[in-house]
A and B are shown apart, each in its own frame.
Chain A
Amino acid sequence: MIEFCSASLVYPNGVKALSDVNLRVGRGEFVFLVGPSGSGKSSLLKLIYRELFPSQGKVFVAGQDVTAIPRNAVPYLRRRIGVVFQDFKLLPQKTVWENLAFVLRVISVPRREIRKRISEALDLVGMIHRCDSFPAELSGGEQQRASIARALVNNPPILIADEPTGNLDPDTSWGIIQILSRINARGTTVFVATHDNQVVDRLMRRVVALDNGLIIRDQDRGMYHHVPEPESLCNSEPQEC
């Protein structure tokens, strides 16, 4: 579903964010991307929805080379990827309902269908009662749930979350991760960058660890910190493209 082939990223100021990343995320997988701040997690995710362009290598999404997509086709790529941001990135002048409706308007969904899909998405994240609120009127956890609802309202096959629990307390964080888990159970590929060790350890899903732009670990049922086990050591080799 998502594939990085020798992808490297160097920022214009010379900072090397990613070095020769080779990674494959299959359809329907739930993957945690872990690592300390500045390890390159956000940069790696941004390559998927073409907010950044790799300096070297290629990135494939659903078999399509995103580095080869012309600029005017990028919106169509982004419509197939739901993105949840640490700072929520909700449109401040729109209500929760309007934020979700905007995503559906963009793809010309009929009005009646819009109502149905928004209700379903808000129901899934437990936000139907706050649909008429503006982002500023919501708590951090509520904003993040609204952001998740927006990311999944057009049923994208991939959902990316960049530090979705970064600004939230432990209980709310666990609630958010459970929602992501439920979305994954419906068949959506979920790729979550986090440095929240509690949720990673509790969920025990595939863990890809980054450090200084390099993949240093890739475990099928991993923990936040490396726990050497004979089985997981077998899976720690980066995959070949």
Chain B
Amino acid sequence: MNLRNVEYLIQEAFIGIWRNGIMAVASISIVALSMAIFGAFLLLVLGSHNFVERQLARFEIAVYLPVGESRQKAIEVRDQIRALPLARKVTLMSREKEWASFKRRMNTEIDLGGVTGNPLPYALHIESKDSRKTSRLADQIRHINGVAHVTDSRETYGRVKAVADLVKILGFAAALVLCFTTIFIISNAIRLTLFARRHEIQIMQLVGATNWFIRIPLVLEGIILGAMGALIAGGLISLGSGYIVNVVQERFPPLLRDISSGVDSRQFSMSLAMAGAFIGALGSFVSIRRFLRT
């Protein structure tokens, strides 16, 4: 096959789409809608996954020094914890603020009249870099000299983590099922487009066209239809997610960072387009094979 023919076959693909306008529009709409549903669901799953991860990261470790220990010692302990590779954020809590808050909370329940001075020990709150390694970090802190007590909410974390993992697995499994469904719907849409043109394929065979000469423009059409549909889907998702971000920003600003899917929308649209093109190509290739057999 020479260059002249390649140019002709590419041209044929575009002419084919233009002249089979209604079928092309139908295919593009089906691809766009199914890809939009799949893409939106995927972003939702990624968003909820990130949300859970960020919530888990907030399980803090509380470290208490012995009662009466000096502020100097507390700062030393804080610096030692900061030096640990798993520790992300180490905050030395203010004893005065904690005592004032405790008194406020407990004033009606306990008589604190007999208590003089501030009986609370120095405390530190630590966030782990990796929520899955919070317990290990807590164990490392226990070995630091001058630490009296460490709590790491191990049980609560474990329970929340189990539920989060289950939600994550179910989410990704549903995304996978939806992915296969999308592939099935798109390849069927492409197959229907080709089915409508099976007589053309037969005529081309009768006038001496080789199977590749027939196949190339039709596969190219599949690629173009798939990519166009997927790009429209990308646009719809961008618009939709933009709207949701605006609503969240207005009503629940602190949530915005947590629910973000962390995906670049342009990159996501490009990936969708590539996936659409690939499914389109595959769908046409497989369908044409059936018609070329006769």
- Bits for A116-160, please: 1 = Cβ < 8 Å to B, else 0: 000000000000000000000000000000000010000000000
Binds A, one of B32-40, B80-88, B110-118, B200-208: B200-208
How many whole Å from A102's CB to the nearest CB in chain B? 7
- Bits for A19-55, please: 1 = Cβ < 8 Å to B, else 0: 0000000000000000000000000000001010000
Contact of A228 with B by CB under 8 A: no
Contact of B213 with A by CB under 8 A: yes
- Whether B204 and A102, one on each chain, are in contact in the complex, defined by CB atoms closer than 8 angstroms, is yes
Residues of A within 8 A of B211 (CB): 72, 75
Using a CB–CB distance below 8 Å, which chain B residues touch chain A? 2, 4-5, 8, 15-16, 19-20, 199-200, 203-211, 213
Contact of A12 with B by CB under 8 A: no
Using a CB–CB distance below 8 Å, which chain A residues touch chain B? 49, 51, 72, 75-79, 83, 89-93, 102-103, 105-108, 110-111, 150
Pick from A72, A83, A102, A111 the residue with the most CB of B within 10 Å: A102
Contact residue among A89, A91, A105 (Cβ-Cβ distance under 8 Å from B5): A105
In the assembled complex, the Cα of A189 lies from the Cα of B8 at a distance in Å of 32
Residues of A within 8 A of B8 (CB): 105
- Whether B205 and A93, one on each chain, are in contact in the complex, defined by CB atoms closer than 8 angstroms, is no
In the assembled complex, the Cα of A77 lies from the Cα of B210 at a distance in Å of 11
In the assembled complex, the Cα of A110 lies from the Cα of B5 at a distance in Å of 10
Contact residue among A83, A93, A110 (Cβ-Cβ distance under 8 Å from B16): A93
In the assembled complex, the Cα of A106 lies from the Cα of B16 at a distance in Å of 17
- Whether B4 and A89, one on each chain, are in contact in the complex, defined by CB atoms closer than 8 angstroms, is no
Contact residue among B20, B200, B205 (Cβ-Cβ distance under 8 Å from A75): B205
Residues of A within 8 A of B16 (CB): 93
- Whether A106 and B213, one on each chain, are in contact in the complex, defined by CB atoms closer than 8 angstroms, is yes
Residues of B within 8 A of A108 (CB): 2, 4-5
